[in-house]
């Protein structure tokens, strides 16, 4: 059975409070709404790809607990294969405490728990799926060794890889760059990895060039409302594109980057010959839908919620 998109990554239960602003150290403030949702960067990306119509499998680990059981059901409800979803009694399902302010910005603390027990043996079990996937996606909410091993296994089998270095770590193993067909990060992650302060499109271009030098085949730096910068190593001088984002009113940007990556994975698997900037422009529109609703996965659109032209083979006029 060949999957379009296989994600090796995290699952978290999101515990979300909406408040007028983010609290300061030592401060207690009143929020106005609390809800529990399905999150974790890996699972978010997988769910977005699945909702767009990709055949997906998730390689991850949850606890033998209530949240873990619920999460497995969530994958099933979204048509994601759970064949490689492991359950452990040795740690709890990952949890994320999230505060969202009135501007739609957030602050997040994750306790990765069971996610950190995903390891080499789990990857070996998933190898048949991993090695035949069209696209493999991984991030940094599981052990970095596991993420890197997944990328290497994909590379050895000529599977296209998307690596999302989130949350970013300063001393990233240089092999991550070489194992990434698409290296996709946001402005703060790009800054932490390269030391280049990223505020403008031009800055992102510089940071992106540095990431290309480290061996990525292409780089996408997402800039929120400023859209994205896309760089491709095959055309070092001409290969820099700024893809602007259509303006939207954000109520909750939590997981917007994951919606973007899930959509990108869908496009890379489904329209492999489409120019990367075109995929990025479309993925931006999908993520733009997600920020207009509260919640992480709860806000991710299905194919039926999106304009038909996002699924057409024809290139859209930009």
Catalytic residues: 258
Q: Is 252 in the site for Na ion (CB under 5 A)?
A: yes
CB of 16 to ligand RIB, least distance (A): 9
Output the CA–CA distances (angstroms, integers) from residue 62 to 9, 80, 90, 281, in the order listed. 11, 15, 10, 33
Q: Where are the beta strands (DSSP E) in 19-90?
A: 33-39, 56-63, 85-88
Tell me if 208 sits within 8 A of 239, measured CB to CB.
Answer: no
Which C-beta is closer to Na ion: that of 10 or that of 218? 10
Can you name the residues that pair with 312 across neighbouring β-strands? Answer: none
Q: Is 96 in the site for ligand RIB (CB under 6 A)?
A: yes
Which position among 290, 297, 301, 310 is part of the footprint of Na ion (CB under 5 A)? 290
3-state SS, residue 171? coil
Residue list 23-42, contact with ligand RIB (CB under 6 A): 39-41
Which C-beta is closer to Na ion: that of 8 or that of 43? 43
Tokens of 151: 């990328």
- CB count in 10 Å sphere of residue 306: 17
User: How far is Cα 58 from Cα 81, in angstroms, rounded to an integer?
Assistant: 6
Pick one of Na ion, ligand RIB, none as the site partner of residue 252 (Cβ within 5 to 8 A by kind): Na ion
Interaction mask 224-263, ligand RIB, x per CB under 6 A: ------------------------------xx-xx-----
Which C-beta is closer to ligand RIB: that of 189 or that of 203? 189
Give the phi and the psi of residue 280 in degrees, each rounded to 5.
-65, -40
Binding site for Na ion (CB under 5 A): 252, 290, 299
Binding site for ligand RIB (CB under 6 A): 12, 14, 39-41, 44, 96, 108, 110, 141, 254-255, 257-258, 296
């Amino acid at each position: 059975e060949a999957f379009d998109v296989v994600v090796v990554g995290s699952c978290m239960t999101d515990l979300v409070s909406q408040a007028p602003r983010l609290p300061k150290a030592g401060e207690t403030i009143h929020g106005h709404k609390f809800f529990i949702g399905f999150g974790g960067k890996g699972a978010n990306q997988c769910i977005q790809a699945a909702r767009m119509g990709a055949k997906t499998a998730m390689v991850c680990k949850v606890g033998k607990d209530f949240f873990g059981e619920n999460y497995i059901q969530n994958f099933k409800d979204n048509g994601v294969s759970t064949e490689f979803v492991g359950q452990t009694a040795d740690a709890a399902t990952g949890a994320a405490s999230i505060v969202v302010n009135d501007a739609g910005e957030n602050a997040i603390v994750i306790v990765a728990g069971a996610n950190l027990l995903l390891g080499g043996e789990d990857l070996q079990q998933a190898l048949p799926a991993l090695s035949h996937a069209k696209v493999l996606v991984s991030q940094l909410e599981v052990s970095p060794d596991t993420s890197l091993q997944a990328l290497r296994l994909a590379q050895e089998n000529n599977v296209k890889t998307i690596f999302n270095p989130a949350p970013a770590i300063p001393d990233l193993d240089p092999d991550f760059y070489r194992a990434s067909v698409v290296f996709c990060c946001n402005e703060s992650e790009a800054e932490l990895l390269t030391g280049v302060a990223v505020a403008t499109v031009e800055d992102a271009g510089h940071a992106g060039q540095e990431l290309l030098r480290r061996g990525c085949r292409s780089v996408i730096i997402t800039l929120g409302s400023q859209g994205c910068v896309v760089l491709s190593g095959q055309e070092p001088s001409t290969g820099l594109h700024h893809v602007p984002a259509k303006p939207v009113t954000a109520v909750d940007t939590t997981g917007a980057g994951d919606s973007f990556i899930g959509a990108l994975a869908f496009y890379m698997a489904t329209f492999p010959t489409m120019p990367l900037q075109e995929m990025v422009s479309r993925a931006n529109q999908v993520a733009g839908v997600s920020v207009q609703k509260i919640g992480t996965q709860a806000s991710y659109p299905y194919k039926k919620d999106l304009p038909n032209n996002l699924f057409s083979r024809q290139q859209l006029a930009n």
